[in-house]
């Protein structure tokens, strides 16, 4: 009951947060955005089948580092951009380890999907080359962060057997939406604003995190 309630409340708060952005009432987001990742933590902790501790710690770390990044960027997105970026970088690292652990404990080890590897790498390189002339002193942090995002997507894609583990699609969509959300942030910060861009960032980010967590929980439920 607590698990389903936390997920429902998550989407209601996500909608409220997006509406606050739409109505230029960002000051009130202190009542919505900081709670989002914490609700996903509750959802993960109260799943029907307990996620093994060796996996759960990395999933929770990803959510808690994301929550810290949310708070830093909400408090002062300009002055605290680099610490916020660092927090999300650590969140991606935690997700990478989490999905690699799934991959190597999911026999037979899923085969490499080379077309997706090349496509993802090409997209990451193209975006870095496009944005690099505008990033100034943030060039190397942005490059490292882009690599983390790209590896996170690859780790998610290669963690599952899609034919017999259909819940994997939630994780993959989540990872791709996370990449899109972060790309929108970078595009707006370093190149130019996008009409409705902040709402798109929050929508893709909110759906990304919920997809990653929901798909992961369903995977462990299927194994239990």
pLDDT tens per residue across span 120-131: 999 999 999 999
Confidence band for 11, pLDDT divided at 50, 70 and 90: very high
Mean pLDDT confidence for 206-223 = 96
**What share of the chain has pLDDT > 90, as a percent?**
92
Predicted pLDDT at 48? 78
Residue 1 pLDDT greater than 70, yes or no = no
- Rounded Cα gap, residues 181 and 200, in angstroms: 7
- Rounded Cα gap, residues 39 and 6, in angstroms: 5
DSSP label at residue 35: H
DSSP 162-220: TTT-TTHHHHHHHHHHHHHHHHHHHHHHHT---TTHHHHHHHHHHHHHHHHHHHHHHHH
Confidence band for 46, pLDDT divided at 50, 70 and 90: confident
Predicted pLDDT at 2? 60
185: Cβ contacts below 8 Å, ≥ 6 apart: 201
Predicted pLDDT at 136? 96
Mean pLDDT confidence for 166-193 = 97
Mean pLDDT confidence for 178-191 = 97
Mean pLDDT lowest among 12-21, 39-48, 117-126: 39-48
Predicted pLDDT at 107? 95
Residue 216 pLDDT greater than 80, yes or no = yes
Confidence band for 94, pLDDT divided at 50, 70 and 90: very high
Q: What six digits make up the tokens of 55?
A: 């996996």
Residue with tokens 């090349």: 118
Residue 44 pLDDT greater than 90, yes or no = yes
Mean pLDDT confidence for 189-211 = 97
């Amino acid at each position: 009951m607590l698990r389903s309630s936390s997920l429902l409340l998550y989407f209601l708060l996500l909608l409220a947060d997006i509406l606050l952005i739409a109505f230029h009432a960002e000051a009130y987001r202190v009542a919505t955005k900081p709670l989002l990742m914490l609700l996903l933590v509750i959802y993960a902790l109260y799943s029907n089948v307990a996620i093994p501790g060796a996996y759960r710690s990395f999933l929770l770390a990803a959510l808690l580092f994301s929550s810290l990044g949310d708070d830093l960027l909400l408090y002062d997105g300009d002055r605290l951009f680099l610490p916020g970026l660092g927090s999300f970088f650590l969140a991606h690292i935690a997700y990478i380890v989490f999905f690699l652990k799934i991959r190597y404990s999911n026999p037979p080890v899923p085969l490499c999907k080379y077309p997706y590897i090349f496509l993802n790498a090409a997209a990451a390189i193209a975006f870095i080359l496009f944005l690099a002339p505008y990033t100034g002193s943030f060039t190397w942090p942005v490059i490292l962060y882009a690599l983390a995002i790209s590896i996170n997507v690859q780790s998610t894609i290669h963690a599952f057997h899609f034919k017999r583990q259909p819940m994997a699609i939630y994780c993959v969509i989540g990872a791709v939406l996370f990449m899109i959300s972060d790309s929108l942030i970078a595009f707006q910060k370093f190149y130019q604003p996008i009409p409705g861009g902040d709402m798109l960032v929050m929508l893709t980010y909110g759906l990304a995190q919920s997809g990653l967590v929901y798909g992961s929980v369903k995977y462990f439920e299927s194994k239990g």
